[in-house]
Amino acid sequence: MFRLETEVDKERRQLLNKWLRDDNTARSPRLRALRDTPAALEVPLEVWALDADDRLAAGLTGRTWATWLHVDLLWVDARHRGSGLGSRLLAEAERVAGTERSCVRSRVETWDFQAPDFYRKRGYEVRGRIENYPPGITEFTLVKEL
């Protein structure tokens, strides 16, 4: 017999993460080999654009892991959209990931009303599409070879 709980529990989440990581490592020779390399570390990558008054004009947050750059967030203030600033942030993140962290690919998720065309124009290809996530919106997963 089991009792189910729905509370948020940081300690249990960390334990679950460790157990799943251990199981995955035991079951996959490729993950075992990866665990012994510098690429196994997940490292944050952030690029910020500040205006002349040191106010945040744009930013990109992501992380590198297993020779991949994963772009989590990319935002440009409305006053600066269309100026190429977003492209500069993305290019810098790709440069750092590729030259300093040995990444060979990049991935990003974006919604249909956000920026799929922005990423396509910069060499990303749609690899996944989820309709109605959330309802009425399509989410795209895009990938690029660096």
**Mean pLDDT calculated for residue range 21-42:** 92
CA distances from 132 to 85, 112, 128, 138 (A): 30, 10, 13, 6
Q: Residue 76 has what pLDDT?
A: 98
Q: What is the pLDDT of residues 33-88, one digit of tens each?
A: 998 888 899 999 999 999 999 999 999 999 999 999 999 999 999 999 999 999 99
- Given a cut of 90, is residue 25 above it in pLDDT? yes
Contacts of 75 (CB under 8 A, 6+ apart): 58, 59, 60
Torsion of CA 118, 105, 45, 35, to 10 degrees: 150
CB 78 within 8 A of CB 115: no
Six token digits for residue 136? 């009425």
Q: Tell whether the model's pLDDT for residue 14 goes beyond 90.
A: yes
Q: Which CATH superfamily is domain 40-145 in?
A: Gcn5-related N-acetyltransferase (GNAT) (3.40.630.30)
- Domain residues of the chain, as ranges? 6-36, 40-145
Measured CA to CA, the distance from residue 57 to residue 76 in angstroms comes to 6
- pLDDT score for 36: 84
- Provide mean pLDDT across the span 12-19: 96
Within 10 angstroms of residue 141's Cβ, the number of other Cβ atoms is: 16
Tokens of 124: 């990303």
Q: What is the reported pLDDT for 38?
A: 86
For residue range 76-118, what is the model confidence (pLDDT) as tens digits?
A: 999 999 999 999 999 999 999 999 999 999 999 999 999 999 9
